[in-house]
Structure 1
Amino acid sequence: MTKSGSTRGAGIWRFFKLFSDLASPANLTILAGLALILVTGVFGGWNAADAQPETTPRASSSEAVSARPFTISISDSFWTSDSSPLPGGFQEAAFFVVKARVVNTTESWIQAPLLSQAITATIPNTDLRPQSGLWSNALVSDGSMGGPTAYRVIDLQSARAFQPALEQEYWLVWELPPDTPRSPQVQLQYFSHTWRASSLDGGFFWTDRSLVAVQSLSAAVEGEVI
């Protein structure tokens, strides 16, 4: 065999040896995994691969909804241009109002802002644009009305906290820009929270907001707080 032929033969041998080393079972497993990652990324990522059909329970208009730590039941809903005799509402606005019976199902007092996180409202097929600071209930980016302000029906004063196990009626009020469409169909969304310790300082907080129910209401286009 000539020197050049010997060199070519040695090169081919080294190639096959290198290929056999690379084609070990362990390396083939790694390559298969990389291929799966590539294909998954092209077709929508892991979220698409792991996605499971999800359905949020729908509550009837008269049904009491459990949105931990609250149970909330709606008895009336309407739009109005005048929220009196409730406090506030000094600028022209469109108010969406519901009358709700709220129960704090825990054994501790709960501050009122958590209720605004537990319930929000949307107008079907309508996305509300983010508003300026005047419209505190519309400072959202998801097209919803945001959360309401709660007023006690018994004395029309704003609620600051909810007493354990006390069932009480409240006016829940969304204050919106005056050109907000007054749809007779409004959808409420309910969110639960979890009482959990902070990993930063060990303090306990209501967190992990999670959608638990959707409820469609028929709202009067013009009503009043009485």
Structure 2
Amino acid sequence: MLRYGRAGFALTVDRLALPAGVHFLVGRNGSGKSTLLRVLAGLERPLGGVLRLDGTEVAGADAWRRYRAASGYLHQDFAVRGRASVRAYARYGAWLRGVDGDELTARTAEVLDAVGLSDRADARASRLSGGMQRRLGLAVELANHPHVHLLDEPTSGLDLDARDAVHDVVTAAVASGAVVVVASHDDHELSRYPDASYHVLVDGRVVESVTGDGTATVQQLLGGPR
């Protein structure tokens, strides 16, 4: 069980297993999807309970640092400021995530290619469209080959090409054996991965976890209008 609380909101997760593959967090606004992602990312410490990665409990400052290093988190309101180029921003992000200095150039080129931004590498990052900035944020999170990908509405506001770039990243991550957790309310996203699992949140609790068949919709998962 994990427990987390802040003024006016409490999150309680009795048990949540996230094996390799795609997992969707589904719920209405305010249900706790983004908060749960932040807890899973190690950005919010739970008040109680146990979090395990590959069967090992995450406990203590060093363990939390290692856990955060093994995960990549893209928050919903990601935006870039400043004068750095796309390449420089991605390179700095890779360095922050522990990529070795002699690997920075190659790894930066690799992640920019993965999200379809190679041709914008010299552009000022802050002048990219909102969708392209989101893709840049995803590139940074990919830099250290995370074992766990935590994505908060990653395709919100993106055009079809940009959505496809995100899905290519998710597909490649799953093929490598990663865990991908996505907060989404988009039926098109939910139907993209027929083997995905869906974890339904209501008022800060995971009330149901099911494996889909590629036809799940948000309304079906939430049981229709309340």
Q: With structure 1 as the length reference, what TM-score do the two structures score? A: 0.23
Q: With structure 2 as the length reference, what TM-score do the two structures score? A: 0.23
Q: Whose relative contact order is higher, 1 or 2, with alpha carbons under 8 Å and at least 6 apart? A: 2
Q: Looking at secondary structure, tell me which structure has more strand per residue.
A: 1
* Structure label with greater radius of gyration: 1
Q: Looking at secondary structure, tell me which structure has more helix per residue.
A: 2
